[in-house]
Amino acid sequence: MSDSLIWCTAHELSRRFARRSLSPVEVVREVLDRAGKLQPCLNFLVLLDNEGAKAAARASEERWRRGEPLSPLDGVPTSIKDTTTVKGWPTRYGSHATDESPAVEDAPVVSRLRQAGMVILGKTTTPEYGWKALTDSPLQGITRNPWNTDHSPGGSSGGAAAMTAAGVGPFNHGNDGGGSIRIPAAHTGLVGLKPSYGRIPQYPADSPFADVVSQGVLSRSVFDTALALNATAGPDARDWRSLPAEPRDYTIGLEEGVRGWRIGLSLDLGHVSADAEVRDLVVAAATRFDSLGAHVEEVGPLIEPLQNAFEPLWIGSFATRLRQIPTQLHGKLDPGFRAAAEKGLAITLADYAKAYEARSKLARDMALWHQTFDLLLAPVTPTAAPPVGTLYNSEAFPRWTKGAPYTLPFNLTGQPAASMPAGLTRSGLPVGLQIVGPARADHLVLRAMRAYESASGWTWPQPKVEETLARL
């Protein structure tokens, strides 16, 4: 597979399929080969369906030959995060507390990717129950960052991020309940949109975090992100919270720019301290919007510290999960997850209700703020990717100040929010710029993402994965 083909976007692959200068069978064969070579080093997969993927690619090739593709994404390879059900495959959540029983149906996001003709390669790694912004688990081990294998790709969609950043498919499925698309996108130099809550249906809603999780993808281009949203957005009767159908092609209007927009930049949200290098890169990235005709201004404190108000929702949800796990299996859980869950057993109904009141206030405050500002810019994370083996939610890496302080607020409010590459640290690790839009304004966030992406002279950096391959 040529280097140029490895880094092809889904849109580019589609155009080549239509011209018959490239076949889905060729692409899938090469992507499977690349996945097999990189898996021992990066550990991004928990399941690889070689024969199923090849069969799906042959079916796609025949549809393109007849001129009857199911969508522009027909024949493009992707994968599914292992917190999401795929019919016939187990859903392990990175945990010994689950079993290998096959799922009886596809989640809506999976069925829609299939309906678009995409080739599903397998399932990607996640921390246990998606609980943290790093990707390692008792069941599946450590997933590593293609930029530097001594570092984590972030989480919880770390397997999808590592695959995409390593050139194994143009985009891969993830989901985001506190930053789980945006954080790994930032740590691996990718494009990562958390759509508005409910834009893509969430089912089965068996997770305690179901009311903050958005489905999405980690990609290498904004246009691909829009194509994926076209394929997956829309209501599903099984998810009563899913948003009504929006008669919109998300690829249309991407080039309209941001001229005249008023954009707020907050480097701390009022309470977060980012590393100086992260701040500098985010400021430099934000100035691109000035050059595009928008007006960017730093804004004062927006959000009060999160821990006191929202920890009951977090650890209370973990406690709900813990109560579902047989006690004889508690010793096999990630110690950090278990500690947080056991602390959550003391959360009362009054604590929970108070946290929901605070959540309502935060959503209202942000809606009022957006009456003045079209967008909010901020860092995605306070630091670049932490080393593998970092103890999450420890004194060295607390969740509320280093893990997800910039991303979690916008899961609570349900707003669309994205990570875009802001550049590299001096040590060569990517940093992300977060772009946050008003509630349900996914099209405006995508438009801003595309304007930023197309800014003069800017190209996304790529990790030197071939050096990793050479060491294997």
Give pLDDT < 50 ranges for the chain.
Answer: none
Give every CB contact of residue 197 below 8 A, 6+ residues apart in sequence: 211, 212, 214, 241, 411, 414
pLDDT score recorded for residue 205? 79
Cα(189)–Cα(422) distance, rounded to whole angstroms? 8
Who's near 188: CB < 8 A, 6+ residues apart?
145, 146, 147, 153, 154, 161, 162, 164, 165, 218, 385, 430, 463
What pLDDT score was predicted for residue 270?
94
pLDDT in tens, 422-440: 999 999 999 999 999 999 9
Of the residues 14, 95, 180, 419, only one is catalytic, namely 180
**Dihedral (CA of 35, 116, 445, 201) sign:** negative
Q: Is residue 402 flagged as an active site residue? A: no
- Out of 23, 79, 81, 132, the active site residue is 81
What the chain holds in terms of domains, given with CATH numbers, is: 3-471 (3.90.1300.10)
Q: Which two tokens stand for residue 471?
A: 């060491």
Question: How far apart are the C-alpha atoms of 344 and 320, rounded to whole Å?
Answer: 8
Set 79, 156, 157, 266: catalytic member? 156
Is 4 an active-site residue? no
Looking at residue 255, what DSSP letter applies? G
The pLDDT assigned to 456 comes to 61
Residue 180 annotated as catalytic: yes
